[in-house]
């Protein structure tokens, strides 16, 4: 069982997306959302994380006072199924790590993976073009024109080298690199399954003085929220949802650098394919169950309609029988008093008309 204060959960909710946070507690994002609602914990609105990632201004809602009758300590109990999946996932990753082996991070930009090498060329080309435009500006041009593009920083170069080693190691194990952007967003494929990942600088909320805020740590400051500062560590994340119980984020630490972490990250990427295939099969099985239930329900309704129709026909036949009995009595009364009949009825001789009437009665009687 894990317990946490209402204030701590509030901070966590605004620190990472609900889907990722929910996995840590062994819950679905909807389950965690219900807990937040029950304890009056505000959550980021839709689009919050995309705006934050794009460096746009976002607003954090304040935590209101704890409602009367609501506990300030929240207790989470991980389900046995979640724990079992987590253990199985960790065991599979450990097995694949052995096959991956050691991954070396290059010390230079030589022999980079083609995707990463293209990023370096992209930066160099943009840098040259900006400098040319900057030098071509006239003195009376607007002072807030486009700035020159800075050189790649040590953090940029490190991220590029690590990403190159990651992709090469991944492809050596049978994976495929499909596309990637200089922001660190990558699209990969393994076992026929496509998924997206990110290799980016892990950031933290900066609370110091503006003069102390890190400057020039990257050539791409517009890729990051200006209110966040770099930690000096990379974060590797599978951004495609794989289901609960599957680890999909790894972060460097002071005790675990990129070279030590890469085999585990590559193993996690390699297992993303089977995880997605299993999830697709789960959805397919769910769809089959839903379809079977729909067919069974349709069959039940059809049988009920048939039953109603049989009952209606039965009652209609009973009414026809009663009607036939009544009509026979009427014909018998007519035949008992022949003087009441005209010589011709409806264009027919009376005798022929009586035969016609008897025949129609016999046709109406269900017992005949």
Whether the pLDDT of residue 4 is over 80: the answer is yes
- Which among 39, 21, 249 has a CA at the least distance from the CA of 30? 21
100 and 64 in a single domain? The answer is no
Confidence category of residue 261, pLDDT binned at 50, 70, 90: very high
132 and 261 in a single domain? The answer is yes
CA distance 52 to 225: 6
71 and 144 in a single domain? The answer is no
Does residue 276 fall inside a structural domain? Answer: no
Query: Tokens in use for 253?
Result: 């630490």
Which of 20, 48, 75 is the last residue before a domain boundary?
75
**How many domains does the chain divide into?**
3
Q: Can you say whether residue 347 is alpha, beta or left, with left for phi > 0 and alpha for psi between -120 and 50 degrees?
A: left
Does residue 171 fall inside a structural domain? Answer: yes
CA distance 199 to 291: 40
CA distance 199 to 181: 10
| 289 vs 206, residue with greater confidence | 289
75-101 pLDDT per residue, tens: 876 555 556 666 676 777 778 788 888
144 and 212 in a single domain? The answer is yes
Does residue 23 fall inside a structural domain? Answer: yes
- C-alpha of 258 from chain center: 29
144 and 43 in a single domain? The answer is no
- Residue 268 near residue 261, CB atoms below 8 Å: no
Confidence category of residue 267, pLDDT binned at 50, 70, 90: very high
Q: Which residues contact 77 (CB under 8 A, 6 or more apart)?
A: 1, 2, 26
- Please give the mean pLDDT across all residues of the chain: 87
144-166 pLDDT per residue, tens: 555 678 899 999 999 999 999 99
Does residue 277 fall inside a structural domain? Answer: no
Output b/e per residue, 6-24; b: 16+ Cβ within 10 A: beebbebbbeeebebbbbe
245 and 167 in a single domain? The answer is yes
Task: Look up the domain containing 238 and give its range.
Answer: 83-270
121 and 170 in a single domain? The answer is yes
Range ranked top by mean pLDDT from 88-102, 106-120, 240-254:
106-120
CA distance 203 to 217: 12
117 and 254 in a single domain? The answer is yes
CA distance 217 to 353: 111
338 and 240 in a single domain? The answer is no
Least confident of 86-90, 175-179, 279-283, 359-363: 86-90
Which of 56, 75, 94 is the last residue before a domain boundary?
75
- Which among 229, 255, 113 has a CA at the least distance from the CA of 178? 113
Which of 31, 57, 75 is the last residue before a domain boundary?
75
Does residue 317 fall inside a structural domain? Answer: yes
How many helices and strands in the chain, by DSSP H and E?
10, 9
- C-alpha of 354 from chain center: 78
Does residue 286 fall inside a structural domain? Answer: no
15 and 139 in a single domain? The answer is no
- Residue 247 near residue 90, CB atoms below 8 Å: yes
320 and 191 in a single domain? The answer is no
Average pLDDT over residues 34-41: 90
In whole angstroms, how far apart are CA 244 and each of 89, 206, 269, 277? Answer: 10, 31, 16, 14
Half-sphere exposure of 309 (CA within 13 A, CB side): 6
Q: What is the pLDDT of residue 213?
A: 66
295-331 pLDDT per residue, tens: 999 999 999 999 999 999 999 999 999 999 999 999 9
60 and 103 in a single domain? The answer is no
Does residue 289 fall inside a structural domain? Answer: no
- Which among 269, 274, 96, 283 has a CA at the least distance from the CA of 193? 274
Does residue 27 fall inside a structural domain? Answer: yes
Token pair 């109603």: residue:
308
Query: Tokens in use for 323?
Result: 């009607």
């Amino acid at each position: 069982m894990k317990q946490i204060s209402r204030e701590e959960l509030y901070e966590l909710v605004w620190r990472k997306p609900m889907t990722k946070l929910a996995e840590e507690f062994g819950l679905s994002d909807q389950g965690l959302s219900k807990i937040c609602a029950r304890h009056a914990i505000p959550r980021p609105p839709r689009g919050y994380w995309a705006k934050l990632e794009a460096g746009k201004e976002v607003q954090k809602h304040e935590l209101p006072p704890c409602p009367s009758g609501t506990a300030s300590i929240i207790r989470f109990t991980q389900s046995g199924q979640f724990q079992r999946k987590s253990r199985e996932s960790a065991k599979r990753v450990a097995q694949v790590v052995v096959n991956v082996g050691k991954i070396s991070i290059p010390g230079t930009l030589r022999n980079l993976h083609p995707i990463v090498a293209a990023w370096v060329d992209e930066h160099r080309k943009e840098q040259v073009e900006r400098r040319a435009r900057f030098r071509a500006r006239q003195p009376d041009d607007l002072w807030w024109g486009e700035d020159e593009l800075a050189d790649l920083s040590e953090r940029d170069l490190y991220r590029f080298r690590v990403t190159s080693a990651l992709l090469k190691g991944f492809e050596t194990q049978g994976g495929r690199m499909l596309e990637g952007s200089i922001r660190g967003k990558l699209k990969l494929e393994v076992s026929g399954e496509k998924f997206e990942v990110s290799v980016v600088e892990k950031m933290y909320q900066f609370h110091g003085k503006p003069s102390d805020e890190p400057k020039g740590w990257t050539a791409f400051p517009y890729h990051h929220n200006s209110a966040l500062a770099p930690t000096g560590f990379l974060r590797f994340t599978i951004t495609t949802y794989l289901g609960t119980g599957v680890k999909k984020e790894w972060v460097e630490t002071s005790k675990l650098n990129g070279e030590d972490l890469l085999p585990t990250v590559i193993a996690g990427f390699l297992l993303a394919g089977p995880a997605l295939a299993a999830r697709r099969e789960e959805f397919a099985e769910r769809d089959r169950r839903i379809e079977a239930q729909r067919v069974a329900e349709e069959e039940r309704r059809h049988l009920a309609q048939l039953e109603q129709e049989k009952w209606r026909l039965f009652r209609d036949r009973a009414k026809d029988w009663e009607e036939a009995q009544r009509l026979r009595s009427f014909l018998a009364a007519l035949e008992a008093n022949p003087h009441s009949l005209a010589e011709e009825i409806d264009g027919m001789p009376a005798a022929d008309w009586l035969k016609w009437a008897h025949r129609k009665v016999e046709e109406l009687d269900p017992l005949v």
